[in-house]
Amino acid sequence: MRTVAILGGAYAGASAAATLAAGLPEGWRIVVIDRNSHLNHVYVMPRYSVLGGHEHKAFCPMNNIFNLPPSSSQISQSSSHDQLGISRVPPAYHQLNHPHLILNAEVVALTPTHIILSKSFPEYGEGFTSNQVGYDFLIYALGSKLPPPLDLWGTFPGGIPLDTRASSGEAINDDPKRGSIKTTIYRGAKNEGIAWLKAHQMLIEDAQSILVVGGGALGIQFATDIADIYSHKSVTLLHSREKLLPRFNAEMHTEIYLALESLGVHVILNERLADKDAPPKFNEKGQRVVNTTKGREIVADLVLMCTGQAPNTSILKAMNPLTVNPHDGLAHVLKTMQLTVLQIELSSDIDTNNSASETGNRMKTPSQQEPTPYPHIFVVGDAADAFGAIAAGHTADFQAKVAARNILRLVQIREQEKQKCGDREDEELEEYVPTEPGIKVSLGLRNSIYQINGVVGKRSNGTDDMDAAYLWKYWGTKVDSERDMYL
């Protein structure tokens, strides 16, 4: 069976899966590969790592991202819950009413024809008995490595040691002293993610003074949420530029700055940390002591580093270093979202042997007429150098739809060639056109500010859980009550 592989399930990956499932002909299947058991709704995680009671809503089942009717196996899965109210999710899904698969594994390496996984899936028969999965087309949607306060796979924020009891699934504060918070290490399961967020809540609750480094959307949301929920705490926001969110209208900076001030957040602009990679320093009270490049000393119980987001493109770089910009780590793509290289020379040093794409190196984009050695590989979202588009869920979603529609065009061409249709005309591929930057940022529990198509507006109708159910439904999971989001 022909295969379209998608690396990464959330946001871009889920969007691509639904688009492809609606258009692929018989004989084709989608294989989604993700190291997480659930889709991680990253945009609500800053809120849930401060405010308790909603952690489970950040992890949405991915077994219906193809947006197809549920099978009997899916219904039976949702009927049983463990003591935490979380369904026992198997390592891979195989819905009986379609051929598509979701594999819960890590991607170890990539070649032009195969994906090397951390484990095999022999239960799915031929093509899955080893840890190498072949593909005809591939969408690379692995996003970016998140800053420490959101990186469930990284070191726990604040450097708190982690309890390695893998079966616990609980966040515990065994000792009232600061620094005693324990949690299970996150390995991709929902109960581990819930424990991680609960432990983060305890970390913030225990700190009386908090320094948030980075005045992007993440830093602004952390600072305003903490200040709104814990009005007695001292919260400082340190930003290296003169303006907050400098890519957007000046009105955004002004309104956000006023909101921070009204919540009592101390804002320091145009200063950055000195020696941020140096070992942490502490005073006699056990507080963190940091210095800025202008010589300012800041003392805080907790430092949240909301900077340092980096594209997850190391797998592409290992396949061919020429596909990744060495300066920013972004993957080079054509406007069709196809992977390419900086200087395209189809020479022997580029690994294009045994390419899975039958259109091969003959494929060119219509307007640029620029060839690519990887016409069957598409890169979308935070990992792609997408012509100035901001790194955001809505842009990743749009790029993924463009990539998926282009794959459907290429599949159609291949099917016509197989049927030897002599009157076939090559169909031009769709090109991605970035839209004007847009954003929505919460400013505490109820207030938010947004910019869409150059227009800035404010709202004051926010909810505690940031309307998480909306995205669950978008990702194909029916939500009739709060209970449904424990799946």
What pLDDT digit, counting tens, does each position of 46-89 carry? 999 999 999 999 999 998 898 755 443 343 333 333 333 333 33
CATH class of 2-37+91-145+310-418: alpha beta
| Of 39, 32, 2, 1, the residue nearest 17 (C-alpha) | 32
Which residue would you say has higher pLDDT here, 409 or 74?
Answer: 409
pLDDT of 320 higher than 80:
yes
For the segment 149-172, what is each residue's pLDDT rounded down to a tens digit?
Answer: 999 998 665 444 433 333 334 444
| pLDDT for position 232 | 97
Q: Which two tokens stand for residue 18?
A: 């639904």
| pLDDT for position 182 | 56
For the chain, how many residues are written? 487
CA angle 21, 24, 29 (to 5 degrees): 75
Q: Which residue has the tokens 């076939």?
A: 424
Any residues with CB less than 8 A from the CB of 399 and at least 6 apart, and which?
Answer: 12, 337, 380, 381, 384, 386, 389, 432
Lowest mean pLDDT among 12-26, 189-203, 343-357, 360-374: 343-357
Please give the average per-residue pLDDT across 424-431, as a whole number: 76
- Strand-pair category, 209-213 with 302-305: parallel
* Percent of the chain topping pLDDT 70: 81
pLDDT of 359 higher than 60:
no
| pLDDT for position 384 | 97
Please give the average per-residue pLDDT across 88-101, as a whole number: 56
| pLDDT for position 277 | 77
Residue ranges covered by each domain of the chain: 2-37+91-145+310-418, 148-308+438-486
Predicted confidence band of residue 218 (pLDDT cuts 50, 70, 90): very high
Give how far the C-alpha of residue 78 lies from the chain's centroid of Cα atoms, to the nearest Å: 25
* CA distances in angstroms from 276 to 236, 279, 290, 291, listed in the order given: 17, 8, 8, 9
pLDDT of 355 higher than 70:
no
Predicted confidence band of residue 457 (pLDDT cuts 50, 70, 90): very high
Between the two ends of the chain, the Cα-to-Cα distance in Å is 31
Provide the 10 A C-beta neighbour count for residue 415.
16
Q: Name residue 413's amino acid.
A: I
Give how far the C-alpha of residue 290 lies from the chain's centroid of Cα atoms, to the nearest Å: 30
| pLDDT for position 160 | 44
Predicted confidence band of residue 429 (pLDDT cuts 50, 70, 90): very high
| pLDDT for position 51 | 98
Give the Cα separation of 263 and 122 in Å (integer). Answer: 55
Q: Do the Cβ atoms of 280 and 252 come closer than 8 Å?
A: no
CATH class of 148-308+438-486: alpha beta
For the segment 372-395, what is each residue's pLDDT rounded down to a tens digit?
Answer: 999 999 999 999 999 999 999 999
Q: List the beta bridge partners of residue 183.
A: none
Q: Which two tokens stand for residue 29?
A: 């299947």
| pLDDT for position 183 | 55
| pLDDT for position 279 | 86
Q: Do the Cβ atoms of 131 and 120 come closer than 8 Å?
A: yes
Which residue would you say has higher pLDDT here, 64 or 419?
Answer: 64
| Of 432, 217, 397, 209, the residue nearest 309 (C-alpha) | 217
Predicted confidence band of residue 29 (pLDDT cuts 50, 70, 90): very high
| pLDDT for position 155 | 67
Q: Which residue has the tokens 């999710």?
A: 89
DSSP state of 70: P
Q: Name residue 432's amino acid.
A: Y
| pLDDT for position 235 | 99
For the segment 227-254, what is each residue's pLDDT rounded down to a tens digit?
Answer: 999 999 999 999 999 999 999 999 999 9
Lowest mean pLDDT among 126-135, 145-154, 424-433, 463-472: 424-433
User: How high is the mean pLDDT of the chain?
Assistant: 85
Phi, psi at 289, each rounded to 5°: -125, 120
* CA distances in angstroms from 109 to 4, 118, 133, 270, 385, listed in the order given: 17, 9, 11, 40, 21
H or E element in which residue 202 lies:
helix 190-206
Equal CATH topology for 2-37+91-145+310-418 and 148-308+438-486: yes
| pLDDT for position 50 | 98
pLDDT of 133 higher than 50:
yes
Give the Cα separation of 324 and 326 in Å (integer). Answer: 6
For the segment 272-318, what is each residue's pLDDT rounded down to a tens digit?
Answer: 999 877 888 999 999 999 999 999 999 999 999 999 889 999 999 99
